[in-house]
């Protein structure tokens, strides 16, 4: 699809996501085209980002990063491994260690990303954790082991495959008794989405912009 029939061209953030999702839902692009478009855009923009925060898809500075993402640590209620699905440059892997420690817990971070170039970049930034980084599509990746805490976003799969992604990670990647932490960044409410998919969640946390709009929505699901 080229030219004016690509309504997502030039859009950013939620507007981009909504436009490209609509194109997939309406059959204007295939699921493979959706993946190519979304994954290559994320890879290009994160690798070109001028700050470490931008390299994980967050605008603003360290204060904004913490304000948006720190609530993910609310899902950590004991020591364990923490797999960041869609780890980009590895910044959340780094951040979750002190955030969990402030709650009294020790986590060992791991990362998975569909972009080999971003995993390479993460390994260069975090050489001590290079052997904890994996390349793969979360929807089909076979983990070498299970993890106590697994963080993801549902939007890592094309529309129509998001419930399946959440359930697959819950049943095939999270260790028994562990937690799948599902995030929606940029305005969505993940608790509504999970409820609509008939997936019960055990807890949730929300971060807000100054004007009261949702910034990040986070919910966690207990693995059987
Ligand atoms: C917004 S960043 C998340 C960065 C960081 N984990 C955080 O929470 O701030 C999204 C990352 O997910 C990766 N990603 C998207 N779809 C994926 C998939 N199906 N499997 C694995 N990684 C995926 C992208 O390449 C991108 O690096």
- Render the burial of 100-119: b for 16+ CB within 10 Å, e for the rest: beeeebebbbbbbbbbeebb
The pLDDT value given to residue 82: 98
Q: Which of 21, 35, 49, 86 to mutate to test the pocket of ligand 1 (most atoms within 8 A of CB)?
A: 86
Q: What is the span of the domain harbouring residue 74? A: 61-222
Tell whether 204 and 153 lie within a shared domain: yes
* Tokens read off for 181: 């932490």
**Residue 199 pLDDT more than 90?**
yes
* Long-range residue pairs from 211-215, CB within 8 A, at least 24 positions apart, any chain: 213/187, 214/187, 214/188, 214/189, 215/67, 215/68, 215/185, 215/186, 215/187
Tell whether 214 and 144 lie within a shared domain: yes
**Domain CATH number, residue 121:** 3.40.50.150
The pLDDT value given to residue 1: 59
Decide whether any atom of ligand 1 lies within 6 Å of the 56 Cβ.
yes
The pLDDT value given to residue 187: 85
The pLDDT value given to residue 186: 85
Tell whether 67 and 126 lie within a shared domain: yes
Residue 54 inside a domain? The answer is no
Decide whether any atom of ligand 1 lies within 6 Å of the 205 Cβ.
no
Residue 190 inside a domain? The answer is yes
CA–centroid distance, 156 to ligand 1, in Å, is: 7
The 10s digit of each residue's pLDDT in 136-172 is 999 999 999 999 999 999 999 999 999 999 999 999 9
């Amino acid at each position: 699809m080229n030219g004016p029939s690509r309504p997502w061209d030039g859009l950013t953030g939620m507007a981009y996501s909504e436009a490209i999702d609509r194109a997939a839902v309406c059959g204007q692009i295939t699921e493979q085209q959706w993946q190519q478009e979304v994954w290559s855009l994320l890879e290009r923009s994160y690798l070109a980002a001028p700050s470490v925060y931008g390299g994980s898809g967050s605008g603003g500075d360290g204060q904004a990063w913490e304000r948006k993402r720190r609530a993910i640590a609310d899902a950590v209620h004991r020591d364990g491994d923490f797999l960041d699905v869609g780890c980009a440059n590895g910044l959340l892997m780094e951040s979750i260690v002190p955030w969990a420690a402030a709650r009294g817990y020790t986590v060992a971070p791991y990362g998975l990303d569909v972009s080999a170039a971003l995993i390479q970049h993460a390994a260069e930034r975090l050489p001590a954790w290079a052997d904890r980084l994996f390349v793969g599509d979360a929807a089909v990746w076979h983990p070498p082991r299970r993890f106590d805490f697994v963080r993801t976003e549902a939007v890592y799969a094309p529309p129509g495959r998001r419930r399946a992604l959440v359930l697959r990670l819950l049943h095939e990647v999270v260790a028994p008794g562990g937690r799948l932490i599902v995030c929606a960044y940029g305005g969505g409410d993940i608790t509504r989405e999970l409820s609509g998919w008939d997936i019960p969640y055990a807890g949730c946390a929300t971060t807000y912009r100054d004007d009261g709009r949702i910034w990040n929505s986070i919910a966690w699901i207990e693995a059987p």
